[in-house]
Amino acid sequence: MTDASALPGQPRGVVGSGPATARALNVLAPNPSAMTLDGTNTWILAEPDSDLAVVIDPGPLDEGHLRAVVDTAEKAGRRIALTLLTHGHADHAEGAGRFAELTGTRVRALDPALRLGDEGLAAGDVITTGGLELRVVPTPGHTSDSLSFHLPADRAVLTGDTVLGRGTTMVAHPDGRLGDYLDSLRRLRSLTVDDGVHTVLPGHGPVLEDAQGAVEFYLAHRAHRLAQVETAVENGHRGAADVVAHVYADVDRSLWPAAELSVRAQLEYLGEHGLI
């Protein structure tokens, strides 16, 4: 058995519904897959003594899951007062409209097309609900609209798909861009160094106890993959599909379509920087 403490980010045990920090509780959506890992983590956040809660990423349009989120909050004596989205992919956001109907909440997101209500989200925004403080951190790259949420009181950051609890994420080219993604990882690393963040509450997979270790692993992984892609091109592998078959030969073929998006982003990045 592999020691979790030896894995990047020190993942915490089995993924499931339940408390993760003093202010964060997960309700796991029933949508496991190769892309969503164990399923989407829907986060309920609240101050311990508050009767108001914030939900991040209601998840897929699954009535049972959406009602389970509401029931979980109500059983804890809380009313959901606000819904936030890390980004617009369906496994995170498709259920937001129905969730807003069930809870009577606004939905705030970076992308205006995803919002329900007048307020969006922007870099530097500070959200306060029931005494809870969340700081909006722009983390584009996986998608152009990707955001993370810094929860200072728990020294935690909710990363959506920017950092996962297991494995690595894709850069969803052409919307996602590798340069933006690398900048976002560096921004998250700054949170771990300058703001004391030590816990990652991801959109998929287990909670990570070593936020800095996880981000450093992601940066090293990206540098390694980029070097592999550059070498592959130098050796005559030109098309994205050809590069994937060469560089990702040891990866489950079901993940190759996602890998091809990342490779396209890498090829674009290398071209922009005059490296190929």
What structural domains and CATH numbers belong to the chain?
18-211 (3.60.15.10)
Nearest to 150 by CA among 38, 35, 21: 21
Structure tokens at 179: 């340069």
Question: Residue 165 has what pLDDT?
Answer: 97
As a whole number of angstroms, the distance between CA 265 and CA 259 comes to 10
> Has residue 242 got a pLDDT over 70?
yes
Long-range contacts of 259-264 (CB under 8 A, 24+ apart): 259/170, 261/170, 261/171, 261/172, 261/173, 261/176, 262/170, 262/171, 262/173, 262/178, 262/225, 263/229, 264/173, 264/174, 264/240
As a whole number of angstroms, the distance between CA 113 and CA 111 comes to 5
- Angstrom distances, CA of residue 235 to CA of 57, 173, 232, 243, 246: 42, 23, 5, 10, 10
Question: Residue 1 has what pLDDT?
Answer: 38
Between 1 and 246, name the one with better pLDDT: 246
- Which residues are annotated as catalytic? 91
116 neighbors 88 (Cβ within 8 angstroms): no
- What band does 3 get if pLDDT is binned at 50, 70 and 90? low
Query: Where do we find the tokens 């309700």?
Result: 27
- What band does 14 get if pLDDT is binned at 50, 70 and 90? confident
Question: Residue 5 has what pLDDT?
Answer: 63
> Has residue 72 got a pLDDT over 60?
yes
